[in-house]
Amino acid sequence: MTTFDLRKLRLRAGDQARERVEIELEPLRLAGQVYEPRPNPVAAELVVSRASSGTVLELAFAVSLHGPCFRCLEEAELALSLSLREYQATKPESEEERTEYIEDDRLDLSAWARDEIALALPEQILCRDDCLGLCPVCGKDLNVEPHEHVEEIVDPRWAALSELREET
C-alpha cells in the first residue's frame, strides 16, 4: 500500500506542490479473473493545491491491465490513462466535503488509484474489439477456427419437449 504524508508539504492557502510518486497496485479481480497492472509500481504525478477552504488533490498516471479476454480467454491488454481529482475541506461539514482517501493527513494513493481504475473499466476486457469468443457447443476459439455446427437430429423420445421449447 502506497501512502503520501501531506504534512511534509507544509502548504498555505494559495500554495501548490507537485510530486513524482511510485504507486504500488494490487492485481484487480474481475468476474473471477485476475488482471495484473503493468508497470507496477506505476509512476504518477501528484499535485496538491491548498485553498482557504480546503485541499484539492490531483493524480495522473498511465497503466495497462493484463489478463484473459472475456470472450476467448486469450491474453488481453487494456491501456488506461487516468487523471483524478479529489477535494478535502479544511473543516468538512458533510461527507461531500471529505475524501475517503485521507486519514490522519496521509493520502492512500493505492486505494485511490485502484478505485479509479475500477471505475474506468469497460463492460468487458477484450483481446480485440471484434473478438468472436468461444464456440458454445464445442468450446473452440472462433477467432482461430470459425465454424458452425450442423443441427443435431433430435431423439424422437425428446420430440415433445422440443415442441414445447419452440412454442415459448
Q: What is the pLDDT of residue 122?
A: 93
For the segment 55-71, the average pLDDT, to the nearest whole number, is 95
For the segment 10-36, the average pLDDT, to the nearest whole number, is 91
Task: For residue 104, give the DSSP letter.
Answer: T
Q: What is the pLDDT of residue 105?
A: 87
Grid cell digits, residue 8: 511534509
Asked whether residue 19 carries a pLDDT value surpassing 80, the answer given is yes
Of the ranges 5-9, 72-76, 77-81, which one carries the lowest mean pLDDT score? 5-9
As beta bridge partners, residue 161 has none
Of 97 and 143, the structure prediction assigns the larger pLDDT to 143
Sign, Cα dihedral of 109, 114, 119, 121: positive
Q: At residue 58, what are phi and psi to the nearest 5 degrees?
A: -130, 140
3-state helix, strand, coil in the chain (%, to 5): 20, 40, 40
Q: What is the pLDDT of residues 147-162, one digit of tens each?
A: 888 876 767 888 788 7
Q: What is the pLDDT of residue 64?
A: 96
